[in-house]
């Protein structure tokens, strides 16, 4: 009987081993099928996640918004040495994944000198941005430079902006801390042509003016100068006014009477203490409240700084034809005081007006005469204007503060009839290097190169020992 049992035992063992092997083969086939399916799906539906600080390996939402404006093929042509194409493909791939209209070409100027001459390429790394009849050449392969070039190409022909001069206004050629040279560079990058206009010499706004900027005159403007501005606005002109707290005279009278903008002679003081977190004083109110308007629609959670500002708000002029909307407001912990002179400001909480306080407005007004200005803005027959109560808003020392530049450039795009390009501009990526001490490096070495392998060996031995005991 014992022999019969022993003779029958090998068959179940062989059957068990066959089942184990069959199961293993099935598992391997299923795993292989899953891997193939995943690769097929990944090839057809590319998706990536950027987990770096500041999303350095993906385009900013601002660039994505700009690419959404592309309605026809946009060419990006890189002229560089062939060995640099690998890194370039990773960079330009971000643009290709966002918009199917983006077409990227890589050309080695040493192998194709004819094409380099065609585009007048002088240096390696030059990028031609081309759409239709418009093209730009940039020399830096950064998101900020490439996206700005795309904006210029999409906008087409340059529009001319005139800065009024002759009455102590801020100058776009002044590189001092109170000057506007940085603003001029920003406007140029946005495809605007910047010029100056002395109305005291030629009291008429040129026909090619897409927008006029009156940047904080320190002396009262003359009647003929203001008359020229009034005539320009009556023809559907576009203008931006930056008004000092001390400003008075014909310009202020025109803003209050014809454009229905209320300008109280005061200075805004921010007592919330928030400004101190940014290194600002009480006379530099922080603004984070924006009303619904195309200029400020995309400025949520972006702060702006208004140094030495006065209140600017919609007026109540009887029969006024202008429609005025508040753009920005201070916090509730602010006051508008009329007690200021010679740089000395005094707040009286009992009598001074308490916040929130408006510091800027935008308005429209029907054009009353036909004028060539309407051809420059390509918009409806209406005049547009923006008024802010601080000329320091975009001075060289302040313009780089968070949303200041964006607020101003958005104002210019709205004035020039380019609302599609109103956005928050992409900023250069910031790096966050990890600095490790020698002790920390040793700890990482022991943990990952000695400790982890040792742990795997110990766990493997324990599992093997347990199986032998079973």
Q: What ranges in 9-132 are assigned the alpha helix state H?
A: 10-44, 61-67, 85-98, 113-118
Note whether 360 and 290 are same-domain residues.
yes
The conformation of residue 451, written as its DSSP 8-state character, comes to I
Measured distance CA(410)–CA(359) in Å, rounded: 16
pLDDT score of 185: 95
Over the chain (470 residues), the average pLDDT of each successive run of 10 is: 50 61 69 74 57 60 83 92 91 91 94 92 92 88 88 87 96 96 94 94 92 96 95 95 95 95 93 78 89 89 92 90 94 88 77 92 85 53 94 95 93 87 61 60 70 72 65
Q: Can you read off the two tokens belonging to residue 71?
A: 């309605």
The position carrying tokens 């003016």 is 209
Q: Are 303 and 402 in contact (CB under 8 A)?
A: yes
Note whether 147 and 205 are same-domain residues.
no
- Which residue, among 100, 103, 121, has the nearest Cα to 112 in the 3D structure? 121
- Which residue, among 135, 141, 131, has the nearest Cα to 102 in the 3D structure? 131
- What does each C-alpha distance from 213 to 79, 160, 180, 349, 366 come to in angstroms? 39, 11, 12, 35, 20
Note whether 381 and 309 are same-domain residues.
yes
Note whether 271 and 200 are same-domain residues.
yes
Expressed in angstroms, the distance from the first to the final Cα of the chain is 28
Q: Can you read off the two tokens belonging to residue 234?
A: 């009556």
Distance of CA 96 to the CA centre of its chain: 20
* 32 within some domain: no
Residue 52, judged by CB atoms within 10 A of its CB (0-12, 13-18, 19+), counts as exposed
Note whether 145 and 175 are same-domain residues.
no
Measured distance CA(90)–CA(336) in Å, rounded: 52
Q: Which residues contact 372 (CB under 8 A, 6 or more apart)?
A: 207, 235
Domain that holds residue 142: 61-151
* 37 within some domain: no
Note whether 120 and 238 are same-domain residues.
no
* 454 within some domain: no
pLDDT score of 5: 47
pTM exceeding 0.85: no
Note whether 133 and 163 are same-domain residues.
no
Note whether 124 and 181 are same-domain residues.
no
Last residue of a domain, one of 151, 167, 192: 151
Kindly report the CA angle at 429 between 98 and 420, in degrees rounded to 5? 45
Please give the backbone phi and psi of residue 141, each rounded to the nearest 5 degrees, phi first. Answer: -90, 70
Q: Are 122 and 128 in contact (CB under 8 A)?
A: no
Last residue of a domain, one of 151, 185, 204: 151
Measured distance CA(210)–CA(230) in Å, rounded: 15
* 42 within some domain: no
* 48 within some domain: no
- What does each C-alpha distance from 325 to 111, 259, 319, 418 come to in angstroms? 58, 12, 17, 19
* 441 within some domain: no
CATH number of the domain at 117, please: 3.40.30.10
* 437 within some domain: no
Cis peptide bond upstream of 356, omega within 30:
yes
Q: Can you read off the two tokens belonging to residue 339?
A: 């007690």
pLDDT score of 19: 62
- Give the largest CA-CA distance in the chain: 128
Note whether 381 and 292 are same-domain residues.
yes
The position carrying tokens 């004083």 is 281
Q: Which residues contact 273 (CB under 8 A, 6 or more apart)?
A: 333
Q: How many domains does the chain have?
A: 2
Last residue of a domain, one of 134, 151, 168: 151
pLDDT score of 464: 63
Q: Are 78 and 119 in contact (CB under 8 A)?
A: no
* 27 within some domain: no
Note whether 168 and 129 are same-domain residues.
no
Measured distance CA(226)–CA(97) in Å, rounded: 51
For 315, other C-beta atoms within 10 Å of its C-beta total: 18
Note whether 131 and 206 are same-domain residues.
no
Q: Are 112 and 76 in contact (CB under 8 A)?
A: no
CATH number of the domain at 181, please: 3.40.50.880
For 330, other C-beta atoms within 10 Å of its C-beta total: 25
Note whether 185 and 304 are same-domain residues.
yes
Which H helix or E strand runs over 364?
strand 358-366
Q: Can you read off the two tokens belonging to residue 299?
A: 């400025």
β-pairing verdict for 192-198 and 159-165: parallel
């Amino acid at each position: 009987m014992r022999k019969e049992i022993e003779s029958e035992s090998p068959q179940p063992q062989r059957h068990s081993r066959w089942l184990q092997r069959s199961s293993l083969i099935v598992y391997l086939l299923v795993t292989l099928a899953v891997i193939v399916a995943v690769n097929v799906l990944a090839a057809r539906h590319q998706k990536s996640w950027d987990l770096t600080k500041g999303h350095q390996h993906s385009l900013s939402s601002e660039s994505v918004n700009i690419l959404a404006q592309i309605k026809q093929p946009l060419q990006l042509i890189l002229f560089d040495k062939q060995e640099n194409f690998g890194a370039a493909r990773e960079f330009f791939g971000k643009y290709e994944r966002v918009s199917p209209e983006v077409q990227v070409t890589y050309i080695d100027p040493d192998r194709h000198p004819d094409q380099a001459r065609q585009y007048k390429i002088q240096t390696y790394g030059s990028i031609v941005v081309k759409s239709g009849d418009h093209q730009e050449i940039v020399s830096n392969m950064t998101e900020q430079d490439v996206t700005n070039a795309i904006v210029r190409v999409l906008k087409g022909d340059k529009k001319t902006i005139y800065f009024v001069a002759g009455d102590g206004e801020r100058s776009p050629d002044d590189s001092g801390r109170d000057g506007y040279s940085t603003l001029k560079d920003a406007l140029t990058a946005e495809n605007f042509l910047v010029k100056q206009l002395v109305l005291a010499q030629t009291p008429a706004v040129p026909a090619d003016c897409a927008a006029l900027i009156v940047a904080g005159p320190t002396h009262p403007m003359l009647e003929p100068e203001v008359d020229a501005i009034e005539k320009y606005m009556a023809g559907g002109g576009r203008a931006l006014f930056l008004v000092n707290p001390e400003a008075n005279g014909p310009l202020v009278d025109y803003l209050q009477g014809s454009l229905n903008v209320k300008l109280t002679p005061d200075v805004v003081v921010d007592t919330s203490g928030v400004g101190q977190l940014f290194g600002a004083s009480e006379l530099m109110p922080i603004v984070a409240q924006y009303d619904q308007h195309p200029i400020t629609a995309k400025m949520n959670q972006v702060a702006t700084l208004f140094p030495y500002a006065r209140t600017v708000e919609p007026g109540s002029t009887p029969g006024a034809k202008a429609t005025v909307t508040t753009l920005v407001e201070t916090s509730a912990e602010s006051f508008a005081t009329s007690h200021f002179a010679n740089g000395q400001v005094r707040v009286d909480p009992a009598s001074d007006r308490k916040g929130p306080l408006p510091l800027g407005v935008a308005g429209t007004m029907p054009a009353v005469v036909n004028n060539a200005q309407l051809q420059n803005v390509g918009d409806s027959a209406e005049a547009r204007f923006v008024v802010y109560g601080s000329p320091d808003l975009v001075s060289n020392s302040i313009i780089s503060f968070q949303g200041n530049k964006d607020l101003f450039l958005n104002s210019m795009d709205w004035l020039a009839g380019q609302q599609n390009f109103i956005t928050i501009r992409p900023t250069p990526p910031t790096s966050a290097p990890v600095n490790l001490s020698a002790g920390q490096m040793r700890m990482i070495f022991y943990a990952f190169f000695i400790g982890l392998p040792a742990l795997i060996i110990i766990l493997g031995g324990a599992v093997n020992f347990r199986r032998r005991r079973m």
